Amino acid sequence: MKQNGFYAQSGGVTAVINATACGVLETARKRKGEIGKIFAGRNGIIGALTEDMIDTSRESARTIAALRHTPGGAFGSARYKLKGLEENHAEYDRLIEVFKAHNIGYLFYNGGGDSMDTAQKVSQIGNKLGFPVTCVGIPKTVDNDLPVTDNCPGFGSVAKYVAISTREAALDVASMAKTSTKVFILEVMGRHAGWIAAAGGLAGQGRSEAPHIILFPEIPFEETRFLSRVNECVGRYEYCVIVVSEGTRYANGRFLAEAGARDAFGHAQLGGVASTVATLIRDKLGFKYHYAIADYLQRSARHIASKVDVEQAYAVGQKAVEFALKGQNAIMPIIVRTSNTPYRWTIGQVPLKRVANKEKMMPRTFISRDGFSITKPCRRYLEPLIQGEDYPPYRKGLPYYTELRNVAVPPRLGNRFMLR
């Protein structure tokens, strides 16, 4: 008898994670002879644990199609990491219990490294408990830090947004520099890896074009060297544009902007590095400055999503279903770059255990020797990922983003499950 599938979104959402959902759902609908309904977790994996699932078969084809151009996570996402098997077996047992009750034989888990780890473990547990589940992880992360895959869906659109914003703001500052703002700072995401900050580098070419300085998490922040570069830059070009990663640290490992709070994954909540850098410039150099903090705007900017990114996000969703229906288990679809010019790509796959809990850092060769800009190999890598515009439809001057009905699947288990 054909089995149902379960799809969940995990961690920070992106401008194109719903394009992946669209790929999963449209493909499953096409293959309805082989796979039953796709249930989505309301708020990600929490929806499975609490048996709070959404019946995606209740949505119209038109609504599902519109997911392709709708940012955010249509079913709700969650920052909720399952513990190790030894620490909390109950959560895994519960997942299998719920999957069994709803005849769910396929797990599609759309997230980053943590989620790949969870998907990998569920696949093991299912076998042990006599209810095998075909588990496919689907890559998603603006941080671009999953290994093996050429890049991660979600990243290309952030990269495009950051590159465009840097170029646009630079034109603004350049116009004003004579009598007003001389230094502009754009704070972008990227806690551990500088991929997003690097994308800001696409805004210009050569030393004279903005951004004049990029601060990467990979390069320890040296105040004196930094200030001297800012000063030189203002002297030479009359203004200075800086892209700073939220993850920029001192040599001792401390973030320039560390908050007290930590999230569910134990990560420090960052933000405010732009104001640290701005204060420094004001105090030591006295230049007038402005700063912008892109924050969620960068990862939800579907209005200027990269076409390549949207296509890849859809493709990994589509392929996830196709792989699962071929019986391929404990794998993740990856993006394989087959040519740089012209840019060509295809979808491959990798065992989950090779990607689970691993972070891909920027190669040092992607950062210039002085640590303040990107190299040609980096540009060659990044440029294809921001190609093409995939504009959403508009109504009354605003993008028309769809809203799902999100009808609940009737629970079959009487018991409640208490989340940690």
CB of 61 to a second copy, least distance (A): 21
168 near a second copy, judged by CB under 8 A: yes
Stretch that binds a second copy, among 57-65, 180-188, 190-198, 356-364 (CB under 8 A): 180-188
Nearest C-alpha neighbor of 276 from the set 254, 309, 297? 254
State in Å, rounded, how far the first CA of the chain is from the last one. 35
Binding to a second copy by CB under 8 A, coded x per residue (else -) over 267-306, reads xxxxxx-xxx-xx--x-----x-xxxxxxxx-xxxxxx-x
Long-range contacts at 223-229 (CB < 8 A, ≥ 24 apart): 223/280, 226/280, 227/280, 227/281, 227/284, 227/285, 229/370, 229/372
Q: Is the CB of 106 or the CB of 289 nearer to a second copy? A: 289
Nearest C-alpha neighbor of 257 from the set 320, 346, 189? 189
Among 62, 224, 342, 396, binds a second copy (CB under 8 A): 396
- 240-245 and 213-215 as β-strands: parallel, antiparallel, unpaired? parallel
Q: Is the CB of 39 or the CB of 323 nearer to a second copy? A: 39
Q: Is the CB of 298 or the CB of 318 nearer to a second copy? A: 298
Stretch that binds a second copy, among 21-29, 123-131, 157-165, 356-364 (CB under 8 A): 157-165
DSSP state of 177: T
Angstrom distance (rounded) from CA 357 to CA 26? 29
| Residue 117 a catalytic site member | no
Angstrom distance (rounded) from CA 159 to CA 385? 8
CB of 377 to a second copy, least distance (A): 16
Quickly list DSSP for 113-166: HHHHHHHHHHHHHHHHTT---EEEEEE--TT---SSSSS-TTHHHHHHHHHHHH
Handedness of CA 54, 59, 63, 65 (dihedral sign): positive
**Helix (H) or strand (E) run with residue 349 in it:** strand 344-351
Stretch that binds a second copy, among 94-102, 116-124, 126-134, 262-270 (CB under 8 A): 262-270
Q: Is the CB of 397 or the CB of 410 nearer to a second copy? A: 397
Query: Helix, strand, or coil here: 101?
Result: helix
Looking only at residues 356 through 385 of this chain, which bind a second copy when binding is defined by CB under 8 A? 383
41 near a second copy, judged by CB under 8 A: no
Among 55, 93, 172, 359, binds a second copy (CB under 8 A): 172
Looking only at residues 69 through 128 of this chain, which bind a second copy when binding is defined by CB under 8 A? 70-74, 76-80
Q: Tokens at residue 96, please?
A: 């299998």
246, burial (CB in 10 Å: exposed 0-12, middle 13-18, buried 19+) = buried
Q: Is the CB of 22 or the CB of 170 nearer to a second copy? A: 170
275, burial (CB in 10 Å: exposed 0-12, middle 13-18, buried 19+) = middle
The helix, strand and coil proportions of the chain, stated in percent and rounded to the nearest 5, come to 40, 20, 40
Looking only at residues 306 through 325 of this chain, which bind a second copy when binding is defined by CB under 8 A? 306
Among 174, 285, 361, 408, binds a second copy (CB under 8 A): 174
Looking only at residues 4 through 33 of this chain, which bind a second copy when binding is defined by CB under 8 A? 9, 12-13, 15
Q: Is the CB of 86 or the CB of 283 nearer to a second copy? A: 283
207: left (phi over 0), alpha (psi -120 to 50) or beta: alpha
- What Cα–Cα distance (Å) separates residue 304 from each residue in 157, 160, 391? 7, 8, 6
Q: Which among 143, 150, 309, 390 is annotated as catalytic?
A: 143
Stretch that binds a second copy, among 177-185, 211-219, 225-233, 312-320 (CB under 8 A): 177-185
CB of 311 to a second copy, least distance (A): 13
Q: With CB under 8 A, what is the number of residues at the site for a second copy?
A: 87
Q: Is the CB of 10 or the CB of 120 nearer to a second copy? A: 10
CB 147 within 8 A of CB 380: no
Stretch that binds a second copy, among 173-181, 217-225, 312-320, 407-415 (CB under 8 A): 173-181
250 near a second copy, judged by CB under 8 A: no
CB of 172 to a second copy, least distance (A): 4
Q: Is the CB of 25 or the CB of 330 nearer to a second copy? A: 25
Looking only at residues 400 through 419 of this chain, which bind a second copy when binding is defined by CB under 8 A? 401
164 near a second copy, judged by CB under 8 A: yes
CB of 259 to a second copy, least distance (A): 5
Any idea which residues carry the catalytic annotation? 143
